[in-house]
Amino acid sequence: MTTPAKAFGSSAATSALAPMGILRRDPKEKDIEIEILYCGVCHSDIHQARNEWHNTVYPCVPGHEIVGRVTKVGSQVTKFKVGDLSAVGCMVDSCRTCPSCKSGLEQYCDSWPTFTYNSADKHLGGHTFGGYSTHIVVDESYVLRVPKNLDLAATAPLLCAGITTYSPMRHWKVGPGQKVGIVGLGGLGHMGVKFAKAFGAHVVLFTTSPSKVADGLRLGAHEVVVSTNQEEVMKHYRSFDFILDCVSAQHDVNLYLNLLKLDGTMTLVGAPEHPLPVAAFSLLMPRRKFTGSGIGGIAETQEMLDFCAQHNIVCDIELIPMQKINEAWERLIKQDVRYRFVIDMASLKSV
């Protein structure tokens, strides 16, 4: 049994987002149905809908920064009841049996997790549809609890931008006494700055946008460097313990690798369409690490939300109606976002 939902999606790589109807399964025993209140706009939504990762199935309904209210629960649901706030991030299922799943790293599932959109739908066939829609049905094991004290709209982007920056910094033990670089002040980057500051590091932001310098400092960076000025960048040569690269487009990673000190680590979370060339000597001397990181597991995502509640951390957002989504995407591509668009899903009801 299924229920129709209203959604916004694209029917081809070159088409604009437009209203469309999709089907959601009726909740099974362990499922909950969520009325989506807010959905963040991640740059991955654009990469995916425009087939920049060369694996998109259409129609594509993006959205994986979801906050909403529980409207139905299956007979065996224990974590949620009707009326509760809840949140869904980038995955809605995984195999649950491989070593990664068993150790709470479902995002690295050996068989790949079921992503919130553009993954095979185990229940209805076809593929999954994301949060640019009125409601979604998800197994409660992949749903997060939303702390009560946080602004709901500003919480939505924590489900991707938040966990994607929190997880690698926890993994590489960012903390007091360390010098940490954040590259790119977009949705991910601005959360990277907030978390690095909250973890007690000395934070240096690298931005290509001179207009973002004041915001970088306001968000918590101790220093902001406009990265088009190579002389200013090279003042930080061999000085960083850790750098988080949050850039969505082609850029020279060697520039930043050269800023790492002995045994320093740079983690790539940005996912540009094309490969990024790495010069051997950016890594060899002095013994640097270039690593990657993808979102975070369910338990760690809950830990991140609880950390945010404790430290009063949310995203800086611009709330938009669904009708403005195509304009918002164009602005995102032009680096014109302060610092995450969030869709007020009530606007979809009138479409």
Question: What is the binding site for Zn ion (CB under 5 A)?
Answer: 42, 44, 94-95, 98, 101, 109, 160
Beta partners for 34? Answer: 70, 136
Identify the CA nearest to 134 among candidates 202, 243, 225, 33.
Answer: 33
196 in contact with ligand NAP (CB under 6 A):
no
Torsion sign (Cα): 38, 40, 45, 46: positive
- Closest distance to ligand NAP from the beta carbon of 207 (Å): 3
From 47, 289, 331, 338, residue interacting with ligand NAP (rule: CB under 6 A): 47
Rounded to whole angstroms, how far apart are CA atoms 295 and 1?
32
Of 274-303, which residues contact ligand NAP (CB under 6 A)?
293-295
Residue 318 lies near ligand NAP (rule: CB under 6 A):
no
Torsion of CA 223, 229, 235, 236, to 10 degrees: 60
335 binds, among ligand NAP, Zn ion, none (CB under 5 to 8 A by kind): ligand NAP
The stretch among 6-14, 92-100, 171-179, 242-250 that binds ligand NAP (CB under 6 A) is 242-250
Does the protein bind ligand NAP through residue 105 (CB under 6 A)? no
Q: How far is the CB of 45 from ligand NAP (least distance, A)?
A: 8
Residues present in the chain in total? 351
Q: Any idea of the CA torsion for 37, 40, 41, 47, to the nearest 10 degrees? A: -110
| Rounded CA separation 114/136 (Å) | 14
Closest CB to Zn ion among residues 71, 119: 119
- Closest distance between ligand NAP and the C-beta of residue 18, in Å? 22
CA distance linking residue 217 with residue 82, whole number of Å: 42
Of the residues 86, 118, 155, 248, which one makes contact with ligand NAP according to CB under 6 A? 248
Contact with ligand NAP (CB under 6 A) among 179, 202, 212, 288 = 212
**Cis peptide preceding 62, ω within 30 of 0:** no
CB of 2 vs ligand NAP, minimal distance in Å: 29
**184 binds ligand NAP per the rule CB under 6 A:** yes
Shortest distance in whole angstroms from residue 350 CB to ligand NAP: 27
Question: CB under 5 to 8 A by kind: which of Zn ion, ligand NAP, none does 109 bind?
Answer: Zn ion
Specify the long-range contacts of residues 320-323, CB closer than 8 Å, at least 24 apart.
320/41, 320/344, 321/347, 322/8, 322/132, 322/347, 322/348, 322/351, 323/347, 323/351
> Which CB sits closer to Zn ion, 57 or 98?
98
Task: Determine phi and psi for 141, rounding to 5 degrees.
Answer: -65, -20
Helices marked H in the chain — which ranges?
43-49, 99-102, 152-155, 161-171, 187-198, 213-219, 230-234, 253-257, 280-284, 298-311, 325-333
Among 42, 158, 224, 259, contact with ligand NAP (rule: CB under 6 A)? 42
- Give Rg (Cα) of the chain: 20
Alpha carbons 279 and 141: distance in angstroms, whole number = 42
Chosen from ligand NAP, Zn ion, none, partner binding at 207 (C-beta under 5 to 8 Å by type): ligand NAP
**Whose Cβ is closer to ligand NAP: residue 37's or residue 41's?**
41
Among 156, 221, 337, 348, binds ligand NAP (CB under 6 A): 337
| Among residues 6, 38, 39, 44, the one that binds ligand NAP under rule CB under 6 A | 44
Interaction between residue 266 and ligand NAP (CB under 6 A): no
And the tokens for 122?
């185990």
* Chain residues that interact with ligand NAP, rule: CB under 6 A: 42-44, 47, 160-161, 164, 184-189, 207-209, 212, 246-249, 251, 269-272, 293-295, 332, 335, 337
